[in-house]
């Protein structure tokens, strides 16, 4: 029988204004700023008729629903978000897929993104992700996990992984001490190294990312980042949040 035990969710904590949320053991999501609001979406759509609104009305909410339902997504791209994200490389490379190919429902290009990342060529890597819970491979899905290993095995893996990381970090630091270039010394580093990015994206790109990654078959770690971003959207733009996610 397939083990349906789910790994415990790692808590996401936030400050009082919820502009920053801690994720995993040493990561975070910071919402640096937003450009526009739900009315921005409405006015982008109504410009076709030479109409601009100053307050969001019930009819405007209906318009946003209509735009979403019939996949008129361009007005959603006028509402922008800028994040500072710190995540393990194994998570960040999945997030980057949403920069190079963001939409599941249209053929637009990636013009509504900006992405800049910290460079291991300039700054040595110092932070790594250490999972507290190790998951089992799904028997039904090639890419997914399903439940967790037993407690004794989990303890053993944590010890083995810790030893592996100790040797890996020692090798990396030894290479740097011997004068090896940072750009080459990093070849020995694993995918649990933390990296940081500034990501500016449209509401459409962000909500599409959340929709795809705050989902049970997505990797658990990236679900945590998607949920952190979703809470930030929910708090600031509840109408947009509810329209997008109640329809999916």
State CA 5 to chain mean position distance. Answer: 24
How many residues in total does the chain contain? 248
- 64 Cβ partners below 8 Å, 6+ apart? 38, 41, 42, 239, 240, 243
Q: What tokens does 154 get?
A: 């989990």
Q: Which residue of the set 213, 227, 230, 234 is catalytic?
A: 213
Q: Does the annotation count 230 as an active-site position? A: no
Distance between CA atoms of residues 73 and 41, nearest Å? 9
Q: What tokens does 69 get?
A: 């339902």
Provide the H-helix boundaries in 87-237. Answer: 89-100, 151-177, 182-185, 203-213, 220-236
The catalytic residue positions are: 213
């Amino acid at each position: 029988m397939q083990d349906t035990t789910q790994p415990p969710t790692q808590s996401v904590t936030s400050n009082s204004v919820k502009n920053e949320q801690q994720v995993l053991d040493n990561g975070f999501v910071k919402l640096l700023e937003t450009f526009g609001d739900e009315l921005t979406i409405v006015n982008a759509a109504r410009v076709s008729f030479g109409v601009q609104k100053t307050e969001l009305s019930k009819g405007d909410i209906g318009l946003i629903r209509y735009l979403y339902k019939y996949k008129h997504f361009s007005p959603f791209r006028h509402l922008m978000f800028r994040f500072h994200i710190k995540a393990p490389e194994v998570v960040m490379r999945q997030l980057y897929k949403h920069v190079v190919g963001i939409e599941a429902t249209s053929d637009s290009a990636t013009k509504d993104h900006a992405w800049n990342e910290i460079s291991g060529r300039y700054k040595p890597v110092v932070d790594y992700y250490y999972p507290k819970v190790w998951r089992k491979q799904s028997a039904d899905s090639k890419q997914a996990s399903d439940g967790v290993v037993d407690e004794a095995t989990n303890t053993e893996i944590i010890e083995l992984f810790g030893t592996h990381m100790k040797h890996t970090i020692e090798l990396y630091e030894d290479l740097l001490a011997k004068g090896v270039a940072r750009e080459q010394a990093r070849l020995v580093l694993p995918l649990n190294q933390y990296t940081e990015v500034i990501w500016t994206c449209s509401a459409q790109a962000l909500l599409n990312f959340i929709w795809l990654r705050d989902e049970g078959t997505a990797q658990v770690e990236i679900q945590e980042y998607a949920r952190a971003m979703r809470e930030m959207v929910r708090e600031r733009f509840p109408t947009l949040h509810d329209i997008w996610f109640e329809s999916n």
